[in-house]
């Protein structure tokens, strides 16, 4: 979830123009200033709608969810890369690539299992 600085500034200007007000709170995920829309919705210029956390434990929970999303995304990209190199025959060490692939699959699997179990309660 990396947005470049210019993009963020542009998005903030857009929010201001639409009548949103900048709050003295920052996004728990990226630290960008939060905005309140006319509708009352709280928005991060990078992440979109944001929940204002009531406690530290809630903040940790939200951060953990974001980390799992990031991990899932990263593992999927690595798997795709390894698979692409294996399919093209460019892999210099097929056995090593396959072992790495299996490790990333495990990472992906656990990220999903943890996410699914935390969403249940
Ligand atoms: Zn954010």
- 38-47: pLDDT as tens digits: 888 899 998 8
Q: How confident is the model at residue 1 (pLDDT cuts 50, 70, 90)?
A: very low
Taking the centre of ligand 1 as the mean of its atom positions, its distance from the CA of residue 45, in whole angstroms, is 6
Q: Give yes or no for a contact between 19 and 38, defined as CB atoms under 8 angstroms apart.
A: yes
Helix, strand and coil percent figures for the chain, each rounded to 5: 60, 10, 30
Q: Where are the domains of the chain?
A: 5-49, 56-120
Q: How far is the CA of 28 from the centre of ligand 1 (A)?
A: 7
**pLDDT of 75-118, one tens digit each?**
999 999 999 999 998 777 889 999 999 999 999 999 999 888 87
Ligand 1 centroid, distance to 23 Cα (angstroms): 13
Average pLDDT, the chain: 87
CB atoms within 10 A of CB 76: 15
- The pTM of the full predicted model, rounded to 2 decimals, is 0.55
- Greater model confidence, 55 or 47: 47
For residue 119, what pLDDT is reported?
66
């Amino acid at each position: 979830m990396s947005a470049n600085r210019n993009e963020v500034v542009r998005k903030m200007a857009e929010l201001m123009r639409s009548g949103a007000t900048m709050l003295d709170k920052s996004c728990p995920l990226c630290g960008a200033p939060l905005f309140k829309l006319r509708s009352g919705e709280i928005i991060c210029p990078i992440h979109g709608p944001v929940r204002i956390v009531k406690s530290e434990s809630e903040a940790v929970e939200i951060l953990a969810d974001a980390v799992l999303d990031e991990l899932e995304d990263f593992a999927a990209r690595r798997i795709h890369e390894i698979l692409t190199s294996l399919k093209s025959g460019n892999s210099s060490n097929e056995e090593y690539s396959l072992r790495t692939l299996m490790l990333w699959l495990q990472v992906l699997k656990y990220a999903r299992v943890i996410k699914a179990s935390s969403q249940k309660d």
